[in-house]
Structure 1
């Protein structure tokens, strides 16, 4: 088994969190929560590093590791409209589903999501809608779809006092690519629940729900339940947050009575928020 990517993901995340911890103790007052810290679409731009650990993956019940680099860019294209671009670059260490002692490491398919969102002036609600694209950049076939995938995406959030609720969804389907690989058609949606606590802490739940429309009914849905906790700090006077979450997949793909979808999901997220926009 190759461990290089797994250790790269671990140490990148570890040193990012260490930087956050030391910077936050340098006499900087903890921030009271406002909408941007919990709303990935309410801030001007950000860079997030996310480490996902998924035990119980595949027929041999191994652990899948996914590390994502996620820049979020904000452009004000007119007096009334913003363009928000969310890019996801995934790196995997993934167990083979055909051999028990083999894992596959490398780059997955890169995705880009575009949201046209009206300029908000201290409103409690925000929303955006637009197209999304998944590019077949995977370094090895099992790590991607081998297809060019396109579809719609949208989000909506509402902030009330200490509570933020929202929904983020997209559906991608294949339009071109390798003919020998199966077609792709998948819905992914997140419901967002965040509740502010004293001293910069917050509770959060943002599970990733999936529907694979080409799968049979028993293999179609992944529905997790759970949540976690996070805290806001500052680095160079910019708002930064760190959170950890855990989810149990109460519904997951099954095959001949053996679970092939992960049983659990653990997420560790570091986000650095920038207080200026691109134009």
Structure 2
């Protein structure tokens, strides 16, 4: 697809859908900007320490990422999909030795000519994870439950099922490097009987390097294996990151290509960007 066709493709978007998306993003971003500016004092952690904690999925730091994923030229109709993942991370001190790290991933989706013809906009299914992680350990790790909640507002964006299963993460951080993997396996346990059962695994190996300035690079793969239908999908996401401030609010930015591993079933190419509002203790 040429650049002219891409721009023409986006210009065809339904005006009402576009306005709804803009209002949703403005509301969410505005809310957390206000939370940030309401803090009593600036973040105590320096940029390098914030970047290190952000590279750790089970760090004891509140963060509110908005991750934007654009996939272009999907299928024979050259459709597109924009997925905005709202994924707050909130740590809770469970006891003297353990933290409970809660993590929510709620997709906000807009697509045209992908699974169905025409334009569609709405929420996808939420995944809620809880990691019990030791406060002191040579190797950082966490384990706990993962819940699939059918919050999708259109059937094409969700499974129609409640699901549950285990999730785990393990990583090592040393000399600016972070490497490890996160995994979960979910089975459906209730929901719409007319929809197919859920039996799928999510695997995310990751590698990051952060300089003392707080800038860094992150490489990860996001892979989903659907055991019921013997179907694999995945992306490779290399992004550049940096830590900065909006006034007193500490934020992290990320941007890079989004490379599908399944050809046209996921699109010819894509872009990932993110802004993360950080609230260090």
User: TM-score higher than 0.5 here?
Assistant: yes
* Number of residue-to-residue matches in the alignment: 257
Q: Spell out structure 1 runs of 4+ moving beyond 6 A.
A: 12-16
Cα offsets for 1:103-145 (capped at 9, x unmatched): 211111122101111112xx55311001111111111111111
Provide structure 1 residue ranges, at least 5 long, that are not aligned to the other structure.
20-27, 253-258
Residue in structure 1 matched with residue 41 of structure 2 by the alignment: none
- 1:236 CA displacement: 6.1
Aligned mates of 1:132, 1:61 — CA distance in 2: 34
Q: TM-score of the superposition, structure 1-length normalised?
A: 0.81
Provide structure 2 residue ranges, at least 5 long, that are not aligned to the other structure.
1-13, 35-43
Cα distance change of structure 1 residues 166 and 124 upon mapping to structure 2, 3 Å threshold: same
The 8 Å contact of residues 127 and 156 in structure 1, kept in 2 or not, is answered as yes
Comparing 228-237 with 165-174, greater Cα deviation is found at 228-237
Cα offsets for 1:170-229 (capped at 9, x unmatched): 11121111111111122111111111235321011123111111224xxx1123334010
Equivalent residue in structure 2 for 1:270, among 254, 275, 279: 275
After superposition, the CA RMSD in angstroms is 2.9
The 8 Å contact of residues 207 and 247 in structure 1, kept in 2 or not, is answered as no
Cα distance change of structure 1 residues 165 and 13 upon mapping to structure 2, 3 Å threshold: farther
Q: TM-score of the superposition, structure 2-length normalised?
A: 0.80
The 8 Å contact of residues 60 and 101 in structure 2, kept in 1 or not, is answered as no
Cα distance change of structure 1 residues 184 and 70 upon mapping to structure 2, 3 Å threshold: same
- 1:59 CA displacement: 4.0
The 8 Å contact of residues 169 and 183 in structure 2, kept in 1 or not, is answered as yes
Equivalent residue in structure 2 for 1:70, among 87, 90, 109: 87
Equivalent residue in structure 2 for 1:199, among 186, 192, 213: 213
Residue in structure 1 matched with residue 19 of structure 2 by the alignment: 4
Residue in structure 2 matched with residue 24 of structure 1 by the alignment: none
Cα offsets for 1:225-250 (capped at 9, x unmatched): 34010101245656421111322123
Residue in structure 1 matched with residue 253 of structure 2 by the alignment: 242
